[in-house]
Amino acid sequence: MIDGVFLLFTHTTLLVVFLLVPLYLYYKDRDKLSSYAVSLVFVVAVVYGLKYIFMVPRPEAAAIEVLTPRFPSGHTALIFTPPLFFRRWRCRLLFLLYGLIVAYTRLHFNVHVPIDLVTSVAIALVVSSFCLWKKDNLDRTVGYLRERF
């Protein structure tokens, strides 16, 4: 039973990060949407770049089959990207709690070790902070690209 709940949290990560958060930002805080999109692109690039640079194999006793290398955790990095983009502390807290549950599920199914998760959280928070800090520059760049194409 508990494994089913954990799988639900793990498998809904992509839906939440790539669909629900952008919809929320589009309707509630549109000025952060482009920064969020750029942040996701950079988080995915950094995480998968590191995965294929280090090529750390998954633990042998993993409870679910995952085909990508272990380090760092993509699910954890993705779910810890949105919290800084919300203005309301309740939304931030909800995403941090959701992120902790997803991170725990990755440990529970033995597909990651703690250093993978800590590194992923650090990547997500640093990239998100940088994208919010450079928000005005990103908005100008996205606007320019929108006009050109």
Asked whether the CA dihedral 129, 131, 136, 137 is positive or negative, the reply is positive
User: How many independent structural domains does the chain possess?
Assistant: 1
List, as one string, the DSSP characters of 56-72.
PPPPTT-SS---S--SS
- Name the pTM for this structure: 0.88
Residue 129 has a pLDDT of 93
| Residue 1 confidence class, pLDDT cut points 50, 70, 90 | low
Residue 141 predicted with pLDDT over 90: no
- Neighbour tally for 115: CB within 10 Å: 13
Cα–Cα distance measured from residue 122 to residue 88, given in angstroms and rounded to the nearest whole number: 21
Provide mean pLDDT across the span 118-139.
Answer: 91
Report yes or no on 148 lying in a domain: no
86, containing H or E segment: none
Residue 149 falls within a domain, yes or no?
Answer: no
Is 95 within a domain? Answer: yes
Q: What is the mean pLDDT of residues 37-42?
A: 95
Segments forming the whole domain that contains residue 72: 2-142
